[in-house]
Amino acid sequence: MIYSFFKNGKRFFITDCFPAKMETNLYTDEAIMKQSQRREHLIDTAIGLFCRYGYHATGIDRILSEAGVSKKTLYTHFRSKDELIMAALRKYDGLFRNEFMRQVDHLGKSPEDKLLAIFDAAGSWFTQKQFFGCMYINVIGEYSEEDSPIREISKQFKRSMRDYIMELCKQAGAEEPDALADQLALILEGAIVTAQVSQKSDSARTAKRIASQLLRQNLQ
């Protein structure tokens, strides 16, 4: 599901996956939307549906119905459903990481504070009314082929998140920032899966305590 509100003549969408705002044009009538707007509208609609219902379970007809566009419009922009999935993953990558890092920067002042704030930001995500886990973990579960381009996009997202953590580790003065980043990224992934599978939103607090112990051991 995508929740929407209006501001300054435009419609803003908030997805179930993460409190990231996606700005699209106000008009949802296919006859009014420009080609580029139709493409973005399809992607935004797909993101919400894939988060909530999964990838295989979300059929083309469901996407078209929710987006209010024709099958011809879909295939004008995407040759297949897999291509739409890849476009959704790429767009959400930027939306998610930008919002996540913005929250971390807001919550922490020093690099060490920001490393711990990662888990505070994750905790806010987990407590969203409609939390369906990580879009990238979920898609890998459905596309297990090692050479799948969909899988590769998801792996790149995880690498980008881990690189962000490693940069903070370097700024914090870690003796082995690479190893520490691996450990913190693993703790974060465990918290995400626990929050999704066990429906324990406090997994972020548990993860933060473990991360705090690691930082005391590894920072000068």
Question: What's the rounded Cα separation, in Å, for the pair 75 and 79?
Answer: 5
Token readout for 33 is 């939307």
Closest by Cα among 159, 178, 158 to 168: 178
Q: Quick one: which H or E segment has residue 28?
A: none
Q: Are residues 64 and 97 in the same domain?
A: no
Domain that holds residue 168: 88-218
Question: How confident is the model over 24-68, as pLDDT tens digits?
Answer: 333 444 444 566 688 899 999 999 999 999 999 999 999 999 999
Closest by Cα among 168, 166, 165, 141 to 154: 141
Question: What's the rounded Cα separation, in Å, for the pair 33 and 51?
Answer: 25
Q: Angle of helix 203-218 relative to helix 177-197, nearest 10 degrees?
A: 170
Q: Are residues 131 and 151 in the same domain?
A: yes
Q: Are residues 97 and 69 in the same domain?
A: no
Q: How many domains does the chain have?
A: 2
| Domain closes at, from 33, 60, 83 | 83
- Report the pLDDT averaged over residues 88-95: 94
What's the pTM? 0.82
| Domain closes at, from 83, 115, 150 | 83
Question: What's the rounded Cα separation, in Å, for the pair 216 and 220?
Answer: 8
Band (pLDDT 50/70/90 cuts) for residue 168 is: very high
| Domain closes at, from 64, 83, 102 | 83
Band (pLDDT 50/70/90 cuts) for residue 22 is: very low
Measured over the CA atoms of residue 108, residue 113, residue 115 and residue 116, the dihedral's sign is negative
